[in-house]
């Protein structure tokens, strides 16, 4: 019998760590030890019960009696985990537990109908706690369809309940933040002067690095002699384990070399000279760190950006908007989309064009206007 920090009996296989997290352990029929951590005791107990059920009734044998929760745990651990990056798994887990578990979790897979899946989307559309964007609701629908599609492939169910009739009725229209204008970018950089986050923000505006790539950047990735930044890894904070987690780049194309602009070179030289009294040995080689010598949380960066936006009386933007701003400046400066694709680490040119086609079209219009006098050969 495990106990909580207050000495309360939690049940066989469940205990509570000193940091408050609950942990569930069990050994399956193959002698493999399974363990997982949770913030809530209820989720911990549910996971253990589902795992023990799955172990007693093999996935293929459980068939129609398997609950959505049981299939989800099996699907994540045996189907997705070996093939999907950690960041994607984290996104899957959030979508399932936030939107699907409360409605479908305890239902048998064979009993889930299109109307139940529609209820998941309706709950998001009609939520009074949070106004979900239509794009977010569509994302959950896509996830839900894949979740049941694999269940069909594993012969857990006969057909996918996410049919064409299951659709997103409504949701807040996406209000994607446009990139900073040149004027806003100048004001932003001027307002950030003297702040700890100036260098990381300024570097994104010179390189287009993603947050996780910026956070995982180490000094051995910076070649001052050849003036190249080697993007080789990512670093993210895992809310479940409450610790930092290293990872590979988003895709193969994410592993890339970015030539330094003169400004990027100066930013990194300046950062190299920064002194930090508190050094965390685990992250001693990081380029960017907070005052405690640790990586900076995504929320901390965005909190500062929100503060600066209010100060400048401009529309709020996120750290990812700085990446978009970099890409926009590149196109405005005449960079070819194919070159931009390589620098941003997009897997295909289509992704680059889809996100920045409006900028490309604007620049094409300007270029045509500039050469129209040369094209007019007949008076």
- The encoded tokens of residue 204 equal 């994104």
Rounded distance, CA 138 to CA 115, Å? 16
What 3-state DSSP class applies to 184? helix
Whole-number pLDDT of residue 276: 67
Backbone angles phi, psi at 139, to 5 degrees: -65, -40
Give the count of alpha carbons within 13 A of 142, CB side only. 8
* Range 97-124 average pLDDT: 95
Report which listed range, 35-49, 102-116, 229-243, is most confident. 102-116
Whole-number pLDDT of residue 176: 56
Residue 175 has pLDDT above 80, yes or no: no
Contact 309, 224 (CB under 8 A): no
Whole-number pLDDT of residue 376: 64
Report which listed range, 60-69, 259-268, 359-368, is most confident. 259-268
228-260 residue pLDDT tens: 999 999 999 887 777 898 888 877 888 999 999
As a 3-state breakdown, the chain gives helix, strand, coil percent values, each rounded to 5, of 55, 10, 35
Whole-number pLDDT of residue 56: 64
Residue 300 has pLDDT above 90, yes or no: yes
Q: What is the pTM of this model?
A: 0.66
Residue 343 has pLDDT above 60, yes or no: yes
Percent of the chain having pLDDT more than 90? 49
- The encoded tokens of residue 24 equal 């569930």
pLDDT band at 128 (very low <50, low <70, confident <90, very high): confident
Residue 204 has pLDDT above 90, yes or no: yes
- Work out the number of other CB atoms within 10 angstroms of the CB of residue 223: 12
Rounded distance, CA 17 to CA 22, Å? 6
Least confident span in 73-77, 146-150, 205-209, 347-351: 347-351
pLDDT band at 58 (very low <50, low <70, confident <90, very high): low
* Range 155-183 average pLDDT: 81
Least confident span in 139-143, 217-221, 239-243, 263-267: 239-243
Task: Output Rg (C-alpha) for the chain, integer angstroms.
Answer: 25
Percent of the chain having pLDDT more than 70? 87
Residue 9 has pLDDT above 60, yes or no: yes
**Torsion over CA of 343, 345, 349 and 350, rounded to 10 degrees?**
-140
Strands 234-238 and 243-247: antiparallel
CATH class, range 182-366 = mainly alpha
Q: Where do the structural domains in the chain lie, given as residue ranges?
A: 88-175, 182-366
- Would you identify the CATH topology of the domain 88-175? DNA polymerase; domain 1 (1.10.150)
CA 26 to chain centre: 30
Whole-number pLDDT of residue 379: 55
Contact 330, 363 (CB under 8 A): no
Rounded distance, CA 109 to CA 96, Å? 15
Residue 299 has pLDDT above 80, yes or no: yes
């Amino acid at each position: 019998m495990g106990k909580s920090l207050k000495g309360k009996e939690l049940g066989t296989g469940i205990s509570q760590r000193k940091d408050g997290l609950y942990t569930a352990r069990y050994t399956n029929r193959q002698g493999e030890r399974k363990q997982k951590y949770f913030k809530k005791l209820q989720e911990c107990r549910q996971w253990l019960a589902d795992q023990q059920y799955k172990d007693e009734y093999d996935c293929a044998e459980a068939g129609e009696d398997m609950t959505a929760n049981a299939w989800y745990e099996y699907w994540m651990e045996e189907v997705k985990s070996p093939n999907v990056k950690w960041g994607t798994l984290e996104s899957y887990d959030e979508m399932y537990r936030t939107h699907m578990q409360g409605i479908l979790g305890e239902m048998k897979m064979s009993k889930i109908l299109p109307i139940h899946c529609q209820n998941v989307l309706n709950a998001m559309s009609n939520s009074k706690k949070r106004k979900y964007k239509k794009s977010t609701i569509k994302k959950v629908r896509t996830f839900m369809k894949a979740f049941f599609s694999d269940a069909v492939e594993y012969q857990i169910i006969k057909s996918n309940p996410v049919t064409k009739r299951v659709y997103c009725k409504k949701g807040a229209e996406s209000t994607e933040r446009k990139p900073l204008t040149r004027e806003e970018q100048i004001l932003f950089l001027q307002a950030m002067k003297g702040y700890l986050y100036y260098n990381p923000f300024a570097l994104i505006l010179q390189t287009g690095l993603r947050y996780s790539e910026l956070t995982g950047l180490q000094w051995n990735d910076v070649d001052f002699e050849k003036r190249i930044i080697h993007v080789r890894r990512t670093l993210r904070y895992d809310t479940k384990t409450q610790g930092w987690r290293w990872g590979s780049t988003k895709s193969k194309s994410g592993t890339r070399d970015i030539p330094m602009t003169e400004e990027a070179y100066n930013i990194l030289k300046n950062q190299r000279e920064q002194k930090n009294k508190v050094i965390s040995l685990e992250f001693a080689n990081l380029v960017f760190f907070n005052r405690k010598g640790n990586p900076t949380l995504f929320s901390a960066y965005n909190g500062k950006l929100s503060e600066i936006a209010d100060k400048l009386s401009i529309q709020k933007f996120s750290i990812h908007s700085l990446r978009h701003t970099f890409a926009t400046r590149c196109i405005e400066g005449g960079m070819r989309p194919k070159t931009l694709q390589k620098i941003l680490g997009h897997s295909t040119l289509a992704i680059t064009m889809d996100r920045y086609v409006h900028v490309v079209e604007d620049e094409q219009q300007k270029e045509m206007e500039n050469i129209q006098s040369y094209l007019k050969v007949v008076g």
